[in-house]
Structure 1
Amino acid sequence: MARLLMLFLVLTLAAGCDSDGTNPFDRDDPADPGDPDGETPSGDIPETLAGDVTRVRYDPADNTIVVEGLTLDATPFEAVYSRAPALEANVPGYRVYTAQDDALDRHSTAFAAQSNNSGAVRAGVTVTGGPRNRFFGGTYYERDGGFRPPAGGLVTYTGRYAGLTNVGGSGEDLIPVPGGTNPELIPDQAAEVTGGVVMTADFSDNSIEGNIVNRSLEGTPLPSLVLVRTDIAANGTFFGNVEFDSRHPDSGDNPVGNDIGDYGGIIGGPDGDGLAGSITLSEFDGLGDQLGFENEEEYGIFVLDRCGTPGAADPLGLCASVN
């Protein structure tokens, strides 16, 4: 089990490695989390969002990853990852990596992206599929440099959402099992969730809120989410609650005030031109299991550009409507 967990952690790091060799998931010597000029403090990622993700290091010269596990075994473990470009059409804007040692081992999926303008913020998510009654998952986000917020006023960020669940998905990346294999032993490939994100930050009173809309679980529409208003800390991080959107018909009864998960993130880049964050959900198909899922869970990430900044993407077509 320790080895399987470590393999899952490997994918998280691999997802964030850019072609220039930078490693967005290397947790080295964090600066004082109260220092707005310091690097991103790894301790700022809340435990509920980090999940099983811990310290990871990537060597671009030989494409190996060294992982120091938090759970079960602290011994470093080395493994090779593989990019899966054929799966990237399923999650536009994100790179996809997968791993599976053999046909009966867990399958791991990872997504990662960085902001399109200055590239100062990035995030990654990793989830293993079943079997054996458990799944492992977690998220990570960070920025380059310190926090320099825009001048006071409202700022809009937009981008795409990519999530992974404990529900079995399409399975096209699984290694085929021999005929006659007991179905209880066959691994799952984690099902993907996509959507669009818009967040509004007010740097006059240091608060932020948002929405995740157009959510889909591999073609099945899901209720939209509200990222409930929360504070922006002095170092540009934030953490808050997630609810189903009361305006969505599949949210169930009385979603307002009914906490279904957490979200958090970090703002970075020149004049706060990028935002990266993640969510974790204890359910995703509406209060009362509107779509029939039970005990469902989800980890996801969003990497957003500030509207109006050079190089910013606007996949929702919203920036023309804001300042």
Structure 2
Amino acid sequence: MIRSFFLMAALATVAACGGGDPFNPVDETTEDPVTEPTPEPTEDTLTVPESLAGNLKSIAYDATNKTVTAQIYALDSTPVDVIYTRDATRDLNGYEAYTVQEDSLDRFFVAMVGQSTDGSVQAGLVGDGGQFNRVLQGAYYTREGDFTPPEIGTGPGAGQVSYAGNYVGITNIARPIGPGSVDPSLLPGDPVMITGQIFLNANFSDMAVNGGIFDRQVLLSTPTDLPDLALIITDIGTDGSFLGEVEFTGEVGRKIGDYGGVFGGTNASSVGGAINMEEFIDALDDELERGFFVLSQCNTPGEASICTNVAD
């Protein structure tokens, strides 16, 4: 019932924004399988699983000079590695936005990226709002340096630690953009975004992590609340990476997607990761959400306000 109500509210709100199909339920393309992304720079090899990487083949984000160069399959621009334009008006939840569109009838792509306070991890997403029945979207995360977990001891904070911060996602809900004189079936879409908060608990003795995403909203003309997500407990690998399942909070055993990421920094001070969910609302077909996060460890510089509730 909650998800059905969300659907009706979302469609009504987007329809009020203008013409065109208010919900653009286009699949991610399954044509021409892509290689795993190889973000740069990094000192060790980290593979982002295909379920999270999607159509994103590579990306380089320079947080100092505010530049993003990405390669996505396909039809963003030329050459293959495309330089995106900084667009601060689209920044969300502390993350930076970059865009590219060759002309008004080409696909419109948005890149959202973030880097940890200590510079050890990055994560982000790139995607369009769809055109001609397909969206092209993908996410990434990467680490600078080696995996150095915190020292294991006894008691609070000695090997079991928390992370918290902001979440941003992209959907295949789209607002048509382009010349009003053109047939609506030709218009590219401007993707509707999602914001939220994320909290992770990790234990580096057990080498396991889990968490949740809350305060989720889809940013229609009137922001609409979305269900909370549970990030199911999963192992942390010897390289500091992890991959687990996503469920709606309270719906035990019903997988709706994947999440993954990597820990970085001294004593695993930061973590970056990504999320992918497809076909997760019973009342809809072909719905899609991809998201990412870059978090600081609680009790370190840059911690989120929720960290006041965890042990020092």
1:290-309 alignment, distance < 5 Å = 293-309=284-300
Aligned to 1:151: 151
CA–CA distance in structure 1, aligned partners of residues 188 and 79 of structure 2: 25
CA contact (8 A) 1:100 1:106 kept: yes
Per-residue displacement from partner, 1:9-30 (whole Å, max 9, x unpaired)?
9xxx9xxxxxxxxxx93277xx
Going from structure 1 to structure 2, the CA distance change for 1:268 and 1:56 (only over 3 Å counts) comes to closer
Identity of aligned residues (%): 38
**Displacement, 1:220?**
1.1
**Displacement, 1:83?**
1.0
CA contact (8 A) 1:40 1:142 kept: no
CA–CA distance in structure 2, aligned partners of residues 206 and 58 of structure 1: 29
User: Which of residues 60, 82, 85 in structure 2 aligns to 1:82?
Assistant: 85
State whether structure 2 residue 58 is matched by structure 1 residue 55.
yes
CA–CA distance in structure 2, aligned partners of residues 281 and 42 of structure 1: 22
**Displacement, 1:98?**
1.0
Secondary structure at the aligned position of 1:238 is classed as strand
Going from structure 1 to structure 2, the CA distance change for 1:295 and 1:303 (only over 3 Å counts) comes to same
CA contact (8 A) 1:230 1:239 kept: yes
Secondary structure at the aligned position of 1:272 is classed as coil
**How many equivalent pairs are there?**
264
State whether structure 2 residue 274 is matched by structure 1 residue 278.
yes
State whether structure 2 residue 192 is matched by structure 1 residue 160.
no
Secondary structure at the aligned position of 1:318 is classed as helix
User: Which of residues 264, 278, 299 in structure 2 aligns to 1:268?
Assistant: 264
Per-residue displacement from partner, 1:190-228 (whole Å, max 9, x unpaired)?
110100000000111111001000100101111110000
Aligned to 1:199: 200
CA contact (8 A) 2:68 2:98 kept: no
Aligned to 1:17: none
Secondary structure at the aligned position of 1:242 is classed as strand
Aligned to 1:313: 303
Secondary structure at the aligned position of 1:86 is classed as helix
Task: In structure 1, list runs of 5 or more residues that go unmatched.
Answer: 1-8, 14-23, 29-38, 247-254
Q: What is the root-mean-square deviation of aligned Cα atoms in Å?
A: 2.7
**Displacement, 1:302?**
0.6
Secondary structure at the aligned position of 1:103 is classed as coil
CA–CA distance in structure 2, aligned partners of residues 47 and 141 of structure 1: 12
Aligned to 1:6: none
Going from structure 1 to structure 2, the CA distance change for 1:79 and 1:268 (only over 3 Å counts) comes to closer
**Displacement, 1:99?**
1.1
Aligned to 1:18: none
CA contact (8 A) 1:135 1:166 kept: yes
Going from structure 1 to structure 2, the CA distance change for 1:296 and 1:320 (only over 3 Å counts) comes to same
Report the TM-score, using the length of structure 2 for normalisation: 0.77
1:164-175 alignment, distance < 5 Å = 164-169=170-175, 174=177
Going from structure 1 to structure 2, the CA distance change for 1:145 and 1:48 (only over 3 Å counts) comes to same
CA–CA distance in structure 1, aligned partners of residues 191 and 70 of structure 2: 24
Task: In structure 2, list runs of 5 or more residues that go unmatched.
Answer: 1-33, 153-158
Going from structure 1 to structure 2, the CA distance change for 1:187 and 1:227 (only over 3 Å counts) comes to same
CA contact (8 A) 1:64 1:78 kept: no
**Displacement, 1:79?**
3.7
CA contact (8 A) 1:222 1:284 kept: no
Going from structure 1 to structure 2, the CA distance change for 1:223 and 1:147 (only over 3 Å counts) comes to same
Indicate the structure with greater strand content: 2
Q: State the one-letter code of the partner of 1:186.
A: L
Runs of 4+ in 1 over 6 A off after TM superposition: 58-61, 69-72
Going from structure 1 to structure 2, the CA distance change for 1:196 and 1:58 (only over 3 Å counts) comes to closer
